[in-house]
Structure 1
Amino acid sequence: MSKRQLNVRVDVATAEVARARAEQEGISMNQYIEKLVQQDMGETGRAFVDAAAQFMKEYESVFLAEFGGEREGAGTRR
């Protein structure tokens, strides 16, 4: 995987905490920041799936009323 360099500025306290956490985990600062971003992306994905599941739960009766209980992939449309 190719890498791209990012330059970020944070306050001194944030930088010290990030460096200490990376050291505690035995990884570089770059690896620590990359890990945090990847975790954030995963949380966003989970939030989307949870929201979609809630939407389908709330509107299942509407979909069934409109489209009936047709089998998945049956290809029948109104």
Structure 2
Amino acid sequence: MAKKQLNVRVDATTAEMARERAEQQGISMNQYIERLVQHDMGEAGRNFVDTAAQFMKEHELAFLAEFGDGPTGDRQDVRR
């Protein structure tokens, strides 16, 4: 995959902490920042799925009452 250059500004303390952390992990600053973003996106995806699952768990009975349980459910006409 092609790489795209990003320029960001952070305070000196943050820059130094990032440099130190990348060094501790034996990776470049670029790799460290890339991993942070990928990790953050992974968490967002997991949070979305967890929240959707919790919503469905809480509202399952309402959905079943309204729409049945699929093609073989009680209600065939779900138009409104």
**TM-score, length-normalised on structure 2?**
0.86
Give 2:55's aligned amino acid: F
| 1:1-78 aligned within 5 A | 1-71=1-71, 77-78=76-77
CA–CA separation in structure 1 for the residues paired with 2:4 and 2:70:
48
Deviations 1:32-60 (A, max 9, x none): 00000000000000010011001100110
CA–CA separation in structure 1 for the residues paired with 2:22 and 2:7:
17
Give 2:25's aligned amino acid: E
CA–CA separation in structure 1 for the residues paired with 2:25 and 2:37:
16
Name structure 2 gaps, 5 residues minimum: none
CA–CA separation in structure 2 for the residues paired with 1:29 and 1:70:
50
Greater than 4 Å deviation, 4+ residue runs? none
Instruction: State the shift of 1:77 in Å.
Output: 4.1
Q: Bigger CA drift: 33-42 or 60-69?
A: 60-69
Q: Give RMSD over aligned pairs.
A: 1.8
How many residues get paired? 76
CA–CA separation in structure 2 for the residues paired with 1:40 and 1:70:
35
